[in-house]
Amino acid sequence: MTGMTYHVFKRMRTPLLALLAAYSIAILGMTLIPGVDDQGNPWRMSFFHAFYYVSFMATTIGFGEIPYAFSEAQRVWGIFCIYLTVIAWFYAIGAIINLVQDSGFRGAFIRDNFARSVRAIREPFYIICGYGDTGKELVRALCAREIRAVVVDSNQHQMHDLALTNHSLEVPGVCADVRVPKTLIDAGIQHHWCQGLVAMTDIDAVNLKVAITSKLLNPDMPVICRGEAPEYEENMASFGTDHIIDPFTTFSNRLALALDKPGLHLLNDWLSGVPGAPMEDPVYPPKGTWVVCGFGPFGKAMHASLTRRGIPVVTVEFDPDKTSSPPGTIQGIGADHATLRAAGIENAVGLVAGTQDDANNLSIVMTAVEMNPQLFVVIRQNRSMNTPLFSAVTANLVMQSSRILAREVRLLLTLPLLREFLILAQKRDNDWANGVSSRILGMMRTNVHPSSWSVSVDEERAPAIVDSIKRGNPVAIVDLMRSPANRDEFMPCMPLLLKRASGQTLLTPETELHLNPGDQVLFCGERGVRHRMGWSFANINALGYILTGDDSPDGWVFQKYHAWRAKRAMRQERV
């Protein structure tokens, strides 16, 4: 029995019994009280006639005294029945109104509708737990790739935002506690089409509970979790969580990449950023003494990343004993001149404002820059609503957890081949990265982030390529880069990675390489190229034109029309 059905039976049981009793008494009385027929003979109403009479009488329709005129006793009983049934109906209608207004019933009604809409999904989808900044960006990215998503969040305001957002696909959502297993079951954790679950709430304990529940109810389903505290991350990993993303460690690793290989850091930003957004300039973090304010999870990650590279770091912490700060830590927040002077800010080259309070971080940066305008500034933004303030402050890098998490999860869900490319690229040197960045910059006609997509050579997603290869007509990477409208023109795109069916990977492969069934190719280029390229690997005629230049139609009618046009052109040439 569903929650809504239970609520209906629980609240309507007494009113329905009262209505049933009133009808029973009225019908029984009508059958027992004697009447007279049209011949003057004694007559008693049958149960059928009594039920018929009470039914229209109770609803005040009033068809009259049938089948014969009533006796005085029957009329007295009829008056009694009118008041009895009307009171019973008033009682039942009042109970229905109270039921509709009951918050528990409305909640059960919404949850039942949510579960029903999830059960009706017949295409791949992901479950997103938490509809904060990260969840919103993930849903937006999935819908842009035409991938369905189901959202669960315990905050009703977030559900209102979801309902008011105009996504390109329908996104079922419900306000519920994700720690309750029934909530995840309703969200489709055991659904045939569910491709994975993403737990992005702000609380590690909640994400841990979601990971445990997911792995127990559906062990084979991929689970991606947000984790900030090491003890929770270890616990998540012990339950087989597929991907655990720590935004602080991820950011500190990217800063280390900018220190070691700034060209590769720039390439990473361009490819993993939002397509169409303006390209960033390269950043060159200086090597020298850094001051880290705040020794929480973010400060610890930054301290570890910098000290691993032999960079001297001075930490500033309000409660050094509680956070196990390193020896020599300056006690304080870092928003005043005295504390920063004691930390040596005037001789430092870099500053990390990494406390959990946005106001403190802004104050630290403003004071520090006033004392040393040449500082390279890294600031932590905890609340997205403060973006205008952080845009106004002078900072080289802004660490925003929601953006980092959204980017990492977006790559995992929609572009796993791009994530593999970025991991392989870290093994290359800075000159290689600068060369790839230069090619991208020369290819793009505007200074915006390129779009990335992958082509899988298989029967389902590239039937034309597979068919052509089977017929003995090889297809090279460069063939896919030709315009389906004019094969002599090349679309603004370039291959980044070729992954053979055998597992062999080639970074920035030669475009003359032939493709084989099972291969995957990662491209980047201008927005819109992906859809134009889709004609080549999905339509045999478009691919045939690209390979041979022959654009003959395949239908009988169009073949005849094409032949007629060719003959007419030849006659005109003779004339």
Q: How far is CA 125 from CA 193, 443, 455, 501, in A?
A: 6, 34, 20, 26
What is the pLDDT at residue 393? 85
In one-letter notation, the amino acid at residue 150 is V
Is the alpha carbon torsion for 341, 398, 255, 293 positive or negative?
positive
pLDDT confidence tier of residue 64, bands split at 50, 70 and 90: confident
Mean pLDDT of 521-545: 87
pLDDT of 41 higher than 80: yes
* Sequence-separated (6 or more) residues with CB below 8 Å from residue 38: 68
Contact 292, 311 (CB under 8 A): no
**Range in 63-67, 96-100, 356-360, 554-558 the model is least confident about:** 554-558
> Looking at the predicted structure, is the pLDDT value of residue 420 above 80?
yes
Geometric angle at alpha carbon 106, from 102 and 109, rounded to 5°: 140
C-alpha span between 220 and 208 (Å, rounded): 17
Strands 125-129 and 148-153: parallel
In this model, does residue 13 exceed pLDDT 60?
A: yes
pLDDT of residue 362: 94
Task: Tell me the pLDDT band of 557, cut-offs 50, 70 and 90.
Answer: low
Q: Is the pLDDT of residue 127 over 90?
A: yes
* Placement of tokens 């032999």 in the chain: 310
pLDDT score at 234 = 83
Structure tokens at 476: 């090279």
In SS3 terms, 109-174 reads as: HHHHHHHHHHHCCCCCEEEEECCCHHHHHHHHHHHHCCCEEEEEECCHHHHHHHHHCCCCCCCCEE
- Where residue 55 falls among pLDDT bands split at 50, 70, 90? confident
Q: Are 168 and 144 in contact (CB under 8 A)?
A: yes
Place of tokens 């935004």: 247
Counting every residue, how long is the chain? 575
Work out the average pLDDT over 164-183: 92
Q: Cβ distance 130 to 155 under 8 Å?
A: no
Mean pLDDT to the nearest integer, 370-377: 94
Predicted pLDDT at 268: 92
The Cα 283–Cα 301 span in angstroms is 20
Q: How far is CA 464 from the centre of its chain?
A: 32
Q: pLDDT at position 107, please?
A: 84
| Cβ-contact 285, 313 below 8 angstroms | no
Instruction: Supply the mean pLDDT for the chain.
Output: 88
pLDDT at 355 over 90: yes
Q: Is the pLDDT of residue 3 over 80?
A: no
Q: What is the pLDDT of residue 99?
A: 85
The three-class DSSP label of residue 179 is: coil
CA-based angle 93:96:99, to the nearest 5? Answer: 155
User: Judging by DSSP bridges, how do beta strands 505-507 and 493-499 pair with one another?
Assistant: antiparallel
Q: Read off the pLDDT of residues 191-226 as tens digits, 9 standing for 90 and up.
A: 999 999 999 998 989 999 999 999 999 998 999 999
pLDDT at 552: 63
Q: Give the count of beta carbons closer than 10 Å to the beta carbon of residue 565.
A: 10
Closest CA to 150 of 168, 172, 133, 135: 172
For residue 550, pLDDT over 80 is answered with: no
Instruction: For residues 293 and 488, give the distance between their C-alpha atoms in angstroms, rounded to a whole number.
Output: 58
Q: Residue range 506-533: average pLDDT?
A: 92
Task: List pLDDT tens digits, range 388-407.
Answer: 899 888 789 999 988 899 88
CA 32 → CA 28, 63, 78, 551, distances in Å?
6, 21, 13, 91
pLDDT in tens, 241-256: 889 999 999 999 999 9
Return the pLDDT at 62.
66
101 or 290, which is more confident? 290
Specify the pLDDT at position 574.
Answer: 54
Q: For residue range 480-507, what is the model confidence (pLDDT) as tens digits? A: 999 988 888 999 999 999 999 999 999 9
**pLDDT, tens digit, 9 for 90 and up, residues 421-468:** 999 999 999 999 999 999 999 998 888 999 999 999 998 888 889 989
What are residue 260's DSSP bridge partners?
A: none
